[in-house]
Protein backbone atom coordinates (compact mmCIF):
# COMPACT_ATOMS: atom_id res chain seq x y z
CA UNK A 1 0.00 0.00 0.00
CA UNK A 2 1.17 3.50 -0.81
CA UNK A 3 0.54 5.35 2.46
CA UNK A 4 0.86 8.88 1.07
CA UNK A 5 -2.44 10.66 1.65
CA UNK A 6 -3.96 7.73 3.54
CA UNK A 7 -6.08 8.41 6.64
CA UNK A 8 -4.63 6.33 9.47
CA UNK A 9 -6.03 5.78 12.96
CA UNK A 10 -3.27 4.52 15.27
CA UNK A 11 -4.15 3.58 18.84
CA UNK A 12 -1.54 4.01 21.55
CA UNK A 13 0.48 6.41 19.45
CA UNK A 14 1.92 8.82 22.00
CA UNK A 15 4.83 6.66 23.20
CA UNK A 16 6.94 3.65 22.34
CA UNK A 17 6.37 1.75 19.10
CA UNK A 18 3.19 3.72 18.39
CA UNK A 19 4.93 7.09 18.59
CA UNK A 20 7.67 5.94 16.23
CA UNK A 21 5.12 4.52 13.77
CA UNK A 22 3.18 7.79 13.83
CA UNK A 23 6.28 9.84 13.03
CA UNK A 24 7.43 7.50 10.27
CA UNK A 25 3.98 7.35 8.67
CA UNK A 26 3.70 11.14 8.85
CA UNK A 27 7.08 11.45 7.14
CA UNK A 28 5.81 9.09 4.43
CA UNK A 29 2.93 11.46 3.72
CA UNK A 30 0.09 9.79 5.63
CA UNK A 31 -2.58 11.70 7.55
CA UNK A 32 -2.08 10.18 10.99
CA UNK A 33 -4.38 10.43 14.00
CA UNK A 34 -3.22 8.82 17.22
CA UNK A 35 -4.92 7.99 20.50
CA UNK A 36 -3.35 8.30 23.93
CA UNK A 37 -4.23 8.70 27.59
CA UNK A 38 -1.39 10.99 28.69
CA UNK A 39 -2.16 14.66 27.94
CA UNK A 40 1.49 15.74 28.06
CA UNK A 41 2.50 13.12 25.51
CA UNK A 42 -0.45 14.02 23.29
CA UNK A 43 0.62 17.66 23.40
CA UNK A 44 4.11 16.68 22.28
CA UNK A 45 2.67 14.74 19.35
CA UNK A 46 0.47 17.70 18.42
CA UNK A 47 3.68 19.69 18.23
CA UNK A 48 4.86 17.09 15.72
CA UNK A 49 1.86 18.00 13.52
CA UNK A 50 0.00 14.79 14.36
CA UNK A 51 -3.67 14.87 15.33
CA UNK A 52 -4.46 13.29 18.68
CA UNK A 53 -7.57 11.93 20.39
CA UNK A 54 -7.81 11.33 24.13
CA UNK A 55 -8.87 7.73 24.61
CA UNK A 56 -8.72 5.15 27.38
CA UNK A 57 -9.28 1.84 25.60
CA UNK A 58 -9.37 -0.28 28.75
CA UNK A 59 -13.16 -0.09 28.87
CA UNK A 60 -16.18 0.05 26.57
CA UNK A 61 -16.90 3.70 27.32
CA UNK A 62 -13.44 4.67 26.12
CA UNK A 63 -13.84 2.79 22.85
CA UNK A 64 -17.27 4.35 22.27
CA UNK A 65 -15.85 7.82 22.97
CA UNK A 66 -13.09 7.25 20.42
CA UNK A 67 -15.54 6.13 17.76
CA UNK A 68 -17.76 9.12 18.50
CA UNK A 69 -14.79 11.48 18.19
CA UNK A 70 -13.77 9.86 14.91
CA UNK A 71 -17.26 10.35 13.59
CA UNK A 72 -17.87 9.83 9.88
CA UNK A 73 -14.44 10.84 8.65
CA UNK A 74 -12.73 8.54 6.13
CA UNK A 75 -10.30 5.85 7.23
CA UNK A 76 -7.88 3.79 5.16
CA UNK A 77 -5.78 2.08 7.84
CA UNK A 78 -6.63 1.03 11.39
CA UNK A 79 -3.60 0.15 13.51
CA UNK A 80 -4.50 -1.54 16.80
CA UNK A 81 -1.31 -0.87 18.72
CA UNK A 82 -2.46 0.25 22.19
CA UNK A 83 -1.70 -2.30 24.86
CA UNK A 84 -1.31 -2.78 28.58
CA UNK A 85 0.82 -5.07 30.71
CA UNK A 86 -0.48 -6.26 34.07
CA UNK A 87 1.34 -7.97 36.91
CA UNK A 88 -0.03 -11.47 37.35
CA UNK A 89 2.10 -13.84 39.36
CA UNK A 90 0.21 -16.10 41.73
CA UNK A 91 3.51 -17.12 43.30
CA UNK A 92 3.94 -13.60 44.65
CA UNK A 93 0.55 -12.12 45.49
CA UNK A 94 -3.10 -12.07 44.55
CA UNK A 95 -3.59 -10.09 41.34
CA UNK A 96 -5.68 -6.94 41.09
CA UNK A 97 -8.78 -8.20 39.29
CA UNK A 98 -9.74 -4.77 37.98
CA UNK A 99 -6.29 -4.24 36.46
CA UNK A 100 -6.48 -7.69 34.88
CA UNK A 101 -9.86 -6.86 33.35
CA UNK A 102 -8.54 -3.54 32.03
CA UNK A 103 -5.59 -5.31 30.41
CA UNK A 104 -7.83 -7.87 28.74
CA UNK A 105 -10.15 -5.16 27.45
CA UNK A 106 -7.40 -2.90 26.11
CA UNK A 107 -5.44 -5.68 24.43
CA UNK A 108 -8.28 -7.79 23.03
CA UNK A 109 -11.78 -6.38 23.38
CA UNK A 110 -10.94 -2.89 22.17
CA UNK A 111 -9.30 -4.00 18.90
CA UNK A 112 -12.23 -6.30 18.17
CA UNK A 113 -14.75 -3.51 18.81
CA UNK A 114 -12.81 -1.04 16.66
CA UNK A 115 -12.55 -3.52 13.81
CA UNK A 116 -16.26 -4.31 14.07
CA UNK A 117 -17.20 -0.64 13.92
CA UNK A 118 -14.78 0.46 11.18
CA UNK A 119 -14.73 -2.45 8.71
CA UNK A 120 -17.75 -1.13 6.77
CA UNK A 121 -15.88 2.10 5.99
CA UNK A 122 -12.59 0.33 5.31
CA UNK A 123 -14.37 -2.00 2.90
CA UNK A 124 -15.50 0.99 0.85
CA UNK A 125 -11.93 2.19 0.19
CA UNK A 126 -10.02 1.15 -2.91
CA UNK A 127 -7.16 -0.09 -0.71
CA UNK A 128 -7.27 -0.46 3.06
CA UNK A 129 -5.56 -2.26 5.92
CA UNK A 130 -6.10 -3.44 9.47
CA UNK A 131 -2.89 -3.87 11.45
CA UNK A 132 -3.08 -5.76 14.74
CA UNK A 133 0.07 -5.50 16.83
CA UNK A 134 0.36 -8.70 18.84
CA UNK A 135 3.68 -10.04 20.17
CA UNK A 136 6.14 -12.86 19.89
CA UNK A 137 4.41 -14.00 23.08
CA UNK A 138 1.32 -14.72 21.00
CA UNK A 139 3.25 -17.68 19.58
CA UNK A 140 4.48 -19.12 22.88
CA UNK A 141 3.78 -17.69 26.36
CA UNK A 142 6.24 -16.57 29.00
CA UNK A 143 5.65 -17.55 32.62
CA UNK A 144 6.07 -13.99 33.90
CA UNK A 145 3.14 -12.45 31.95
CA UNK A 146 0.32 -14.99 31.51
CA UNK A 147 -2.54 -12.52 31.09
CA UNK A 148 -0.67 -10.38 28.56
CA UNK A 149 0.30 -13.53 26.65
CA UNK A 150 -3.30 -14.73 26.64
CA UNK A 151 -4.59 -11.43 25.22
CA UNK A 152 -1.99 -11.38 22.48
CA UNK A 153 -2.64 -15.02 21.58
CA UNK A 154 -6.34 -14.20 21.42
CA UNK A 155 -5.70 -11.23 19.16
CA UNK A 156 -3.53 -13.39 16.92
CA UNK A 157 -6.34 -15.95 16.54
CA UNK A 158 -8.82 -13.17 15.83
CA UNK A 159 -6.48 -11.73 13.20
CA UNK A 160 -6.04 -15.05 11.41
CA UNK A 161 -9.80 -15.64 11.27
CA UNK A 162 -10.50 -12.04 10.26
CA UNK A 163 -8.07 -12.36 7.37
CA UNK A 164 -10.05 -15.31 6.10
CA UNK A 165 -13.32 -13.38 6.33
CA UNK A 166 -11.96 -10.33 4.50
CA UNK A 167 -9.93 -12.20 1.87
CA UNK A 168 -12.15 -11.00 -1.00
CA UNK A 169 -12.29 -7.36 0.09
CA UNK A 170 -9.87 -4.44 -0.44
CA UNK A 171 -8.73 -4.82 3.19
CA UNK A 172 -5.33 -6.36 3.91
CA UNK A 173 -5.22 -7.82 7.43
CA UNK A 174 -1.72 -7.59 8.88
CA UNK A 175 -0.35 -9.04 12.10
CA UNK A 176 2.81 -7.48 13.51
CA UNK A 177 4.67 -9.56 16.09
CA UNK A 178 7.32 -7.49 17.91
CA UNK A 179 10.02 -8.99 20.12
CA UNK A 180 11.00 -7.38 23.44
CA UNK A 181 11.17 -3.66 22.60
CA UNK A 182 12.80 -0.83 24.53
CA UNK A 183 9.64 0.88 25.80
CA UNK A 184 8.24 1.92 29.16
CA UNK A 185 6.28 -1.33 29.28
CA UNK A 186 9.54 -3.30 29.27
CA UNK A 187 11.52 -1.02 31.58
CA UNK A 188 11.94 -3.80 34.16
CA UNK A 189 12.73 -6.49 31.58
CA UNK A 190 16.43 -7.42 31.52
CA UNK A 191 16.31 -9.19 28.15
CA UNK A 192 17.94 -7.70 25.09
CA UNK A 193 15.61 -5.12 23.58
CA UNK A 194 15.00 -3.87 20.07
CA UNK A 195 14.67 -0.11 19.64
CA UNK A 196 11.15 1.23 19.23
CA UNK A 197 12.19 3.03 16.03
CA UNK A 198 13.50 -0.15 14.42
CA UNK A 199 10.42 -2.10 15.41
CA UNK A 200 8.13 0.61 14.05
CA UNK A 201 10.11 0.68 10.81
CA UNK A 202 9.47 -3.03 10.30
CA UNK A 203 5.72 -2.55 10.81
CA UNK A 204 5.56 0.43 8.45
CA UNK A 205 7.44 -1.61 5.86
CA UNK A 206 4.93 -4.45 6.26
CA UNK A 207 2.10 -2.00 5.57
CA UNK A 208 3.86 -0.60 2.52
CA UNK A 209 4.53 -4.08 1.12
CA UNK A 210 1.12 -5.59 2.07
CA UNK A 211 2.72 -8.33 4.15
CA UNK A 212 0.15 -10.29 6.07
CA UNK A 213 2.54 -11.24 8.89
CA UNK A 214 5.54 -9.29 10.14
CA UNK A 215 7.75 -11.32 12.46
CA UNK A 216 10.15 -8.74 13.82
CA UNK A 217 13.64 -9.19 15.26
CA UNK A 218 13.98 -12.22 17.54
CA UNK A 219 10.36 -13.15 16.84
CA UNK A 220 11.64 -14.51 13.52
CA UNK A 221 13.73 -17.04 15.44
CA UNK A 222 10.85 -17.97 17.73
CA UNK A 223 8.55 -18.37 14.74
CA UNK A 224 11.05 -20.71 13.06
CA UNK A 225 11.38 -22.81 16.24
CA UNK A 226 7.61 -22.93 16.66
CA UNK A 227 7.16 -24.05 13.04
CA UNK A 228 9.58 -26.91 13.61
CA UNK A 229 8.41 -27.85 17.11
CA UNK A 230 5.61 -26.02 18.95
CA UNK A 231 6.44 -27.99 22.10
CA UNK A 232 10.06 -26.81 22.01
CA UNK A 233 9.01 -23.20 21.53
CA UNK A 234 6.70 -23.42 24.54
CA UNK A 235 9.37 -25.09 26.67
CA UNK A 236 11.92 -22.38 25.86
CA UNK A 237 9.58 -19.44 26.42
CA UNK A 238 8.11 -20.79 29.67
CA UNK A 239 11.57 -20.39 31.23
CA UNK A 240 11.06 -16.62 31.21
The CA–CA distances, whole Å, from 40 to 3, 9, 117, 153 equal 28, 20, 29, 32
pLDDT at 187: 65
pLDDT tens digits, 49-107: 999 999 999 999 999 999 999 999 999 999 999 999 999 999 988 899 999 999 999 99
- Report domain extents, the chain: 7-237
Over residues 210-221, the mean pLDDT reads: 96
CB 174 within 8 A of CB 132: yes
Active-site residue, 148 included: yes
Annotated catalytic residue within 122, 148, 166, 215: 148
Tell me which of 239 and 12 has the higher pLDDT: 12
pLDDT at 188: 72
Is pLDDT of 115 > 70?
A: yes
* Coil, strand or helix at 116: helix
Evaluated on CA atoms 233, 179, 63, 74, the torsion sign reads negative
CB 140 within 8 A of CB 222: yes
Tell me which of 98 and 192 has the higher pLDDT: 98
What percent of the chain clears pLDDT 70, i.e. is strictly above it? 99
pLDDT grade for 183, boundaries at 50, 70 and 90: confident
- Burial class (CB within 10 angstroms; exposed 0-12, middle 13-18, buried 19+) of 2: exposed
pLDDT tens digits, 41-60: 999 999 999 999 999 999 99
pLDDT grade for 191, boundaries at 50, 70 and 90: confident
pLDDT at 213: 98
pLDDT at 184: 74
Q: Kindly report the CA angle at 190 between 184 and 194, in degrees rounded to 5?
A: 60
Q: Which residues of 81-90 are buried (b: 16+ CB within 10 A; e: fewer)?
A: bbbbbbebee
pTM over 0.85: yes
Over residues 175-179, the mean pLDDT reads: 97
pLDDT at 63: 98
Report the topology of domain 7-237. Answer: Rossmann fold (3.40.50)
Mean pLDDT estimate for the chain: 95
Amino acid sequence: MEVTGKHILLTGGSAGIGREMALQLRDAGAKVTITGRNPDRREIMQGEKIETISADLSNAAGVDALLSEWGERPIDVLINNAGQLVDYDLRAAAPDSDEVDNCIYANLNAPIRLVSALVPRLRDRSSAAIVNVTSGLAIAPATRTPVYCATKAGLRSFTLALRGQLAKTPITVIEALPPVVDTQMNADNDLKKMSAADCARAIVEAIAKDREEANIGMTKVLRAVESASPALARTVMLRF
